[in-house]
Structure 1
Amino acid sequence: MPADEIVNQKRALRAELKGRRRNKPQILQDRETAQLTAQLQQLVENLEAHSLSAYLSAPTEPNTRPFLNWARAEGIRTLLPISRVDGLLDWTTGDGETEAISDLGVPEAVGELLGPMAIDEVDLMLVPAASVDVTGMRLGWGKGYFDKMIGSMGKCPPVFAVLFDDELVDEVPRERHDEPVDGVVTPKRVVLLSKRAKALGLAEA
């Protein structure tokens, strides 16, 4: 398939998913937030993770805020990304309260910059996604930050994308630079997608 056709397919799918997220009723969002928090907590406990990377969710994304509060209260070291102009990600632990809106229009933590290599220390990575397919291929939001990060890591910890339940699909458009994830976490379940994830002996929710 021509590259420009794949790009157009991605653009159309992202627009559809954004619209679906914006139209989600608040009462459903609240229920799914509580469910998602429980699923994320269970994954961390099953992996016995002492450190992880995550992100501050935007208003229409699955809400990671209660989970991040739980992780901080449990003493789990949590790195949060800060985008750079060179396409890499810096990391910070933040203070649990202060944040800013990045040039990309998404919320980012504010704190001491730890550098791109800080991510090498974590036991688990939680990343945003528009959609993921059953092979683990992730459709991001088009900036490439997380694909570049995952692809550059020599020893990458398990990577799980955080989605709504209907965003795990049969297939998503793929370009050469796209990187797969090991599994997904949704409000209703944890799904293991890679051989590496299944070898961890985790029970799917």
Structure 2
Amino acid sequence: MSASVTGEKTNLRRLLAARRRDRTTAERTGAAEAIALHATALPALVRARRVAAYLSLPSEPGTEPLIDLLAGRGVEVLVPLGRPDRSMDWVVHELGSVAVGALGVPEPTGPPLGAGALATCDVALVPGLAVDHAGNRLGRGAGYYDRALADFPGVVCAVVFDDELLEHVPHEPHDHPVDLVLTPAGVFRPSRDRDL
């Protein structure tokens, strides 16, 4: 791992985390609703029968309206359960079956399906602090999603605020790129060779 790239990532994470803390509740609520509306027209999500999503943190663009919309369409939604070895298990999302996990992250309380359940999803909606025009995603730095997505055959879609879609994000070879980006302003398709 390059020390300069690591330093760039750390500095950018600090900047973006501070910006997120400054957002109002109204901004976050409006962003969550707009993202869900844009998702309704996204062909990859319209065709999907099973989607991996995540339970958003208070500072992130909210995923609750999007998850509710998918479930209302009959789409089965899986949400992650972090493991101590920094791997992810998956659980079918059920309304009200959520608790705060060991890392302070909302987690499902239902029965785990195993790490392989991700491969049964058509789309994986993933969090990020930023995404660039080439689809490089900046996560929080623990690598959970990069490891989980390494062999994922479906469409990977990051969910970020409008100002977190950047021209360039520092990245390394192990960082898994995304195919689509959902923001409150709409859908962005990075320059990648996929029909989405």
Scaled by the length of structure 1, the TM-score of the pair is 0.89
- Does residue 175 (structure 1) correspond to residue 168 (structure 2)? The answer is no
For 2:48 and 2:193, how far apart are their aligned partners in 1? 16
Going from structure 1 to structure 2, the CA distance change for 1:43 and 1:145 (only over 3 Å counts) comes to same
What displacement does 1:194 show?
Answer: 4.2
For 2:132 and 2:140, how far apart are their aligned partners in 1? 15
Gap regions ≥5 residues in structure 1: 201-205
Structure 2 match to 1:117: 116
2:186 aligned residue (189, 192, 204): 189
Gap regions ≥5 residues in structure 2: none
What displacement does 1:42 show?
Answer: 2.3
Going from structure 1 to structure 2, the CA distance change for 1:84 and 1:95 (only over 3 Å counts) comes to same
Structure 2 match to 1:130: 129
What displacement does 1:152 show?
Answer: 3.2
Is this contact kept in 1: 2:158–2:180, CA < 8 A?
A: yes
For 1:175 and 1:131, how far apart are their aligned partners in 2? 15
SS of the equivalent of 1:152 reads coil
Superposition RMSD in Å: 1.6
Q: How many residues align?
A: 196
Is this contact kept in 1: 2:133–2:191, CA < 8 A?
A: no
Scaled by the length of structure 2, the TM-score of the pair is 0.93
Q: What letter is aligned with 1:87?
A: R
Structure 1 match to 2:11: 12
- Describe the superposition over 1:89-136 as per-residue Cα deviations: whole angstroms up to 9, x where unpaired: 100013221212222221111111000001111111100001011111
For 1:141 and 1:180, how far apart are their aligned partners in 2? 14
Deviating beyond 6 angstroms after TM superposition, the runs of 4 or more aligned structure 1 residues are none
- Does residue 23 (structure 1) correspond to residue 31 (structure 2)? The answer is no
- Describe the superposition over 1:47-89 as per-residue Cα deviations: whole angstroms up to 9, x where unpaired: 4111100000000000001111222222111110001122211
Q: What letter is aligned with 2:5?
A: I
Is this contact kept in 1: 2:38–2:186, CA < 8 A?
A: yes
- Does residue 160 (structure 1) correspond to residue 131 (structure 2)? The answer is no
For 2:58 and 2:43, how far apart are their aligned partners in 1? 24
For 1:57 and 1:180, how far apart are their aligned partners in 2? 20
